[in-house]
A and B are shown apart, each in its own frame.
Chain A
Amino acid sequence: MSNDQRQAWFARVMESGLENDIFAPSDVLTHATPDVLASHLPAELLSRVLSASLAAGSMTPERVLETVTPELLAKHLPHEVLWQCIAAAAARAGVSKSVGP
């Protein structure tokens, strides 16, 4: 499989997980820590995140994910990080006892 297909799939999984409340934006940022975001997001995207937070007056996980959409998460962050988020949500849901592969 190509990287584009895997990226598209992880983007769709992250989007579906957020839409279906499998995990919350705070769960995403539990794995996609500020260090991870700062290390992998491009400068332009980091600037947009900060600008949106300054305009709103606060920086919340929801606001971060409004700027860093699932497509951008899958594009820039390591997919292992995203999978940790998905697997942890599945473990919380009780469908899996293990956290990750």
Chain B
Amino acid sequence: MHRRGGGARRCQQVGGPVNLKAFFVTTLSSALDLGIAIPEDVLRHVTPDVLAANLPRPLWARLLTACLGAPRVDAQLVVETIGVPNLCEHIPAQIIWGCIQELAVRSLSGVVMAAAEPLVQRAPVAASAPISRPIPLATPPPPPAAEPKVAATPPMGVMGPSIPAPGAAPVEQPDLDPVGRPRVPPGQRFRQSSSGIGRLAGNTASARRPQAQAAPPAPPPVVEPERDRSGTIPRVKRGQTDGDFDLETFVGGKDDWKNALAVEDEQLVDWSAADETVTTGEELGRKR
């Protein structure tokens, strides 16, 4: 069994283990906390003579100071001032044990402590004493009318705009700013989305920047290119202008650009008269 150096000598006097005092502290403290014991039970064993014989002078000084400053001196004050650890430290273990033993006997016998009731009632009495006894005041209390009335909702009409109640009907009067002038509704603070359908409305035309009026493009001819059985676009034969499937026809549909790019007849090359070109089958056979 472990023995602690600090308290070994004292415990050797009674032959007990060194943790006996800690056991006493826990036992007595919990008994007081749980109402198993009251401070009078402690002072019944730890009498003033016992305290005088065993309590150190500094603790006596503390106790005297507390008693002199307290309006009432009772067992609770003594026990709380000294403290259970100090009691168990300085009071002989046989006396503390006698107190604990008495508590155990009383607890096991089921005796209800009659003296425990004043402890319970002490706090409410002490708490209600200042209330039941009138306290003289230097100045009389202010009349009830002088008390500032705290409105649930302070009036806001002076400092800010009048905001109608959520359920109230809209008031048909111009809104006023703090100065009293009619408030001009602010403009659009956020840019409208370009993808909104409202952009196509007529009133939005003035909001946009002026732009040059462009002639509406002619709707592209709905020409469904004929597809062969394989699903590919058929090749265009040169010279077939009517059925010529050309991309430019989808863009403009006019011949202005063709006039600008007109080619004179002199500029044309007679491919059949050229030397390098073999056009007839006879010449082809002869060369071979």
Binding site for B on A (CB under 8 A): 1, 5-6, 8-10, 12-13, 15-17, 19-22, 79-80, 83, 86-87, 90, 92-96, 101
Contacts and interface: CB of A to CB of B under 8 A. Distances in A.
A83 B27 contact: no
A12 B27 CA distance: 7
B17 A93 contact: yes
B97 A79 contact: no
Contacts, number: 87
A93 B16 CA distance: 4
B53 interface: no
A8 B107 CA distance: 12
Q: Interface size bucket, B side?
A: 20 to 34
Contacts of A13: 23, 26-27, 30
B75 interface: no
Contacts of B43: none
B34 interface: yes
Contacts of A10: 107
Given A5-B36, A83-B104, A101-B108, A95 B26 contact: no
Nearest to B3: A21
Contacts of B108: 79-80, 83, 101
Contacts of A5: 34-36
Interface string B64-101: 00000000000000000000000000000110111001
A16 B31 CA distance: 13
B93 A95 contact: yes
B16 A1 contact: no
Contacts of A86: 104
Interface string B4-40: 0000000000111101101100110011001110000
Tell me whether chain B's interface is mostly helix, strand or loop, or mixed.
Answer: helix
A1 B36 contact: yes
Interface of B: 1-2, 14-17, 19-20, 22-23, 26-27, 30-31, 34-36, 93-94, 96-98, 101, 104-105, 107-108, 112-113, 116
A2 B23 CA distance: 23
Contact of B101 (A17, A22, A87): A87
Given A13-B30, A83-B104, A1 B112 contact: yes
B89 to A, nearest CB: 14
14 contacts: A1-B34, A1-B107, A8-B30, A13-B23, A17-B23, A21-B1, A21-B17, A79-B107, A87-B104, A93-B20, A93-B93, A96-B98, A96-B101, A101-B104
B110 to A, nearest CB: 8
B23 A20 contact: yes
A15 B121 CA distance: 31
